[in-house]
Amino acid sequence: MKLCRFGPPSHETPGVLLHSDGSETRLDVSGFGEDFGERFFETDGPRRLAEWLRVHQKSCPAVEASVRVAPPIARPSKIICVGLNYREHALETGADIPQEPMIFGKATSAICGANDAIVIPKGGTKTDWEVELAVIIAKRAQYVEERSWRDFVAGYMIMNDVSERAFQKERGGQFIKGKSADSFAPCGPFLATTEEIKDPQDLSLRLQVNGEERQRGSTRDMIFSVPYLISYISRFMTLLPGDVISTGTPSGVGAGMKPPRFLQAGDVVTYSVEGLGECRNEVTLFSA
């Protein structure tokens, strides 16, 4: 099943994306009575929604194509990102290959829809792109055994770990300053539940800026796999239903180019992960 949310910010409604005979239908499932947040996932929401749809699908209104695609999950308790998880990306940044996952947080207020604008923040000069596979947690996870990782996954989506390198590397402190501006976590366009993605370690990733390819990779090239990351991160914090783990980006980021190239107002960023659709963000400047 593909879970979606639609509508303007602060007024999103839950939905599903259906495919039949080559056509795509977006349905509003507000009648189910729950948004796609922590309670939904911790109470086996995808299964319950699927059962509800078998009875009520015909009464669900269609969502017009003109309606905004919102983030497919309501704001989670946290976003945990994994840095330098692709060998070539680590090398292009001049970093050592990590011996353990490098993890950092990203403010949940950075979340926006798959086709919303990326806003260069006030004072930003080095805004960069990072296409990533994101994993959504299904239930409370603490000290997870790696062999049991599937029990803790609700599904997958695309996330762009947008980064303001000037804040991240030149202003001291933690990465979170360069990762958390509003619009710095475009995600979606849907959440694919686990039966949709058989192997998260065999998915292609691609990103273009103004039609020029910048990133192309595969999750096969991750240094630390999805099962390992779930187990590892759960040793240091309790993961809650709906939490997001963004698993790292392949090589091709702007900071790694020679000379470096960063996003400018008017640029268009398009990116995809195999089986998870495509996102498209126009770049704008912050204005009060």
φ, ψ of residue 13 to 5 degrees: the values are -125, 145
Residue 153 token pair: 């996954």
- Alpha helices of the chain — where are they, by DSSP H? 38-42, 45-56, 87-92, 165-170, 176-179, 226-233
pLDDT of residue 30: 97
pLDDT of residue 170: 80
Residue 85 token pair: 């998880």
pLDDT of residue 19: 84
CA atoms 136, 140, 145, 151: torsion sign? negative
pLDDT of residue 93: 85
- Give the side-chain half-sphere CA count within 13 A for 161: 30
Of 39, 48, 35, 37, nearest to 1 by C-alpha is 48
pLDDT of residue 169: 82
Of 51, 129, 42, nearest to 29 by C-alpha is 51
pLDDT of residue 112: 98
pLDDT of residue 116: 98
pLDDT of residue 171: 78
- Compute the distance between CA of residue 13 and CA of residue 258 in angstroms, rounded to an integer: 44
**Where do the domains of the chain lie, and which CATH numbers do they carry?**
2-59 (no CATH), 75-285 (3.90.850.10)
pLDDT of residue 45: 97
- Compute the distance between CA of residue 182 and CA of residue 130 in angstroms, rounded to an integer: 16
**Average pLDDT for consecutive 10-residue bins of the chain (288 residues)?**
97 94 91 97 97 96 96 97 94 90 97 98 97 98 98 98 93 88 98 97 98 98 98 98 98 96 98 98 94
pLDDT of residue 66: 95
